[in-house]
Homo-oligomer: A and B are copies of this chain.
């Protein structure tokens, strides 16, 4: 869905697009695309295709990016600071509104116009906000305990930059961004050129025999 959405954004020259054209742009088969889309509704016109404007609008709704999301950011180390400074988030409707750290030297400081708050107050601060998404940019050792705080605060989605798995209950979503892991994956592809070339989100990539990607 993300990929269809992105493809649509890049192809706003025509008014209408067919599943076949979307296939060319995304690498997914036309049948796959039609099937995926009809899971959410009937957005196309037989004999014509999909109106780009309409479908973009629909996809926004489906992806939940037809609104603004408040985001809390925990951990103001190098990564945390890089993230607050990143304009791209706000542009896409992800609005970092709260910063937390445990370091007394950092608490009270301002970063990108936001005051860094004491992590001890995380629960009530987040409870009093609309944030349901959090970015976790703390050291691995602190990841689980901070996660527990976030869960208590009612956070339902976590983007985890800590290089460790965190445990959350059902109904809470975690996505991990682990740079070392990604580099290891690249290393793997370099030394095992025969292993499936990167699935990532490029479906055009290798298929064939069941070579392990895990």
Contacts and interface: CB of A to CB of B under 8 A. Distances in A.
Interface in A32-64: 32, 35-37, 39-40, 62-64
A159 B179 contact: yes
Contacts of A171: 193
B179 A177 contact: yes
A193 B132 CA distance: 14
Contacts of A157: 186-187, 189-190
A191 to B, nearest CB: 4
A40 B188 CA distance: 13
A188 B2 contact: yes
Interface string A178-214: 0111111111111111000110110100000011111
A199 to B, nearest CB: 10
Contacts of A177: 177, 179, 182
Contacts of A78: 81-82, 85-86
Contact of A28 (B36, B197, B214): B214
Given A175-B198, A187-B65, A188-B63, A214 B3 contact: yes
A186 to B, nearest CB: 4
Interface stretch (A88-96, A98-106, A113-121, A141-149): A88-96
A166 to B, nearest CB: 11
Contacts of A36: 212, 214
Contacts of A88: 163, 179-180
B159 A183 contact: yes
Contact of A39 (B2, B190, B211): B211
Contacts of A1: 188, 212-214
A197 B40 CA distance: 16
Given A37-B212, A88-B163, 4 more contacts: A2-B185, A62-B188, A82-B82, A92-B183
6 A-B pairs with the lowest CB-CB distances in the bound complex, closest first: A64-B191, A36-B212, A64-B187, A78-B82, A82-B82, A157-B186
